[in-house]
Amino acid sequence: MLELLRTQPQTRRRAIHTTTTNACGLYPAVGSAAMDPRGVLIGREAYSGRAYVYDPFILYDPDRRDRLPSGHVLVLGKSGFGKSSLEKTYVLRQLRFRNRSFAILDAQGEDGVGEWDSIARRLGITPVRLTYGDPGARGAVRINPLDPRIPVEHQFKVLCSMLEILDGTLSSQTKKAVSVAHIAACTTAAREHRVATLSDVFAALTAPRPAHLGEQMVTSEDLLAWGQPAALALDELCNPDRDLSGMFDGPTTEGIDLDARLIVFDLTRLPREGPSMPLLMSVIGPWLRFGWIRPGDDIKRSLIVEEAWHILSHRPVARLFEELVRYGRRLGLSFWAVLHHLHDLRLDEAPEALAILKLTATRIIYHQDREEAQATADYLGLPRWALKAIVDGASVCSPGRAVWQVGGRVNLVEHIRSRTEAALTNTNRRMTDRTAETSTPTDGVPIRLSKAGG
């Protein structure tokens, strides 16, 4: 009987040499399951060659067994590997759905205009170019923190956030003085049949009237002393001789169409360093929430923020945006935070920023250096193969390729653009000599826009 038994080595078979195409048939169930085919085409899944379709609103469908917990997106990666191209083509393709609307905070560009300028012009849209300095300068735009579209209780939150950006954490006494001044400013403006502005708050802080603190009456002298730090900070914004004047010290500029399906805010004229950018973010977030988003309609809105570290690295701003992002499901909002590295953020100083990152259910990661890639993979819980892919910017994650983490699915995706899209989304003109290849083709407007919901 023992002679009839074959040993282990004798049962081995010679290896079979075949092609990868034929080998796929041997294990047909190995490929990952496809996502919902509805939505817009992004490109193809690099390993299977299958079309990759994505839409956060469709994937959030409550009837789906594996639905996304939110429609928010985090985009990471070094410059030059395709982040901007992805955002722009995604918007152009989504705009073909009639119930899609976008607001873009465009913080990068060249020659005095943002990266979205060419797309806006092709679609017949004039970007809202924000600047500071001379409020009478041509094209200067103001956004009023006390705009009536923002509820009064949120106006106070915005005021406190702006003051914290300029002067640090406010004491409870200073907050009381600001609250009294805010109420006085709104009362004065209503009596004069106009909109309250920061100048009204500044005037009320520097010439306060007695106010109640519970059963106690606080004197004008006390309120003046309590409010002095806030008054000095507001002087930066209201005094025409100061650098930050012209952005917020007046009524909101008329003509900003919040019903447009695509709104581009060009922030390239604002300095990236200093308080001007976080100040703007602290105002524009609530302003868009209450002026642009209208709960109850069927419009699905996306807010794309370039250089999002201006939001996530400043706790007063992160606090306001966390509330916006947290209620994104109720508001029908998809928030896109675009930045280069997680190391750009001071998460230990802004726990609200950490909360925003955790609320993103889609993460798109382009090439990063090894150290940054390791930190990103650890934080996002990426598999080992995804880490190796992110580090390899020469082949695996070459320009146009990224690791997509959508809920529990992780894929390597190759972004595909049409000739028209490639010309519109090209941001390398200044670094190349191939002007003939990158010039905008004359094959018509990519899509004709109507009003949101039209």
Say which residues have a Cβ less than 8 Å from residue 11's Cβ, sequence separation at least 6.
none
pLDDT given for residue 440 in this prediction: 38
Query: Do the strands 409-415 and 401-406 form a parallel or antiparallel pair, or are they unpaired?
Result: antiparallel
pLDDT given for residue 417 in this prediction: 94
The closest alpha carbon to 366, from 341, 333, 390, 394, belongs to 390
pLDDT at 65 over 70: no
- This prediction has a pTM of 0.85
246 torsion bin: left (phi>0), alpha (psi -120 to 50), beta (else) = left
Per-residue pLDDT tens over the stretch 378-404: 989 999 999 999 999 999 999 999 999
More confident residue, 348 or 95: 95
Per-residue pLDDT tens over the stretch 303-354: 999 888 888 888 899 888 998 999 998 899 999 999 988 877 776 667 888 8
The closest alpha carbon to 330, from 285, 293, 360, belongs to 293
- Residue 448, helix vs strand vs coil: coil
What average pLDDT score do residues 151-160 get? 94
More confident residue, 121 or 367: 367
pLDDT given for residue 425 in this prediction: 85
pLDDT at 416 over 90: yes
The closest alpha carbon to 115, from 78, 73, 87, 74, belongs to 87
Asked if 150 and 287 count as a contact pair (C-beta separation under 8 A), the reply is yes
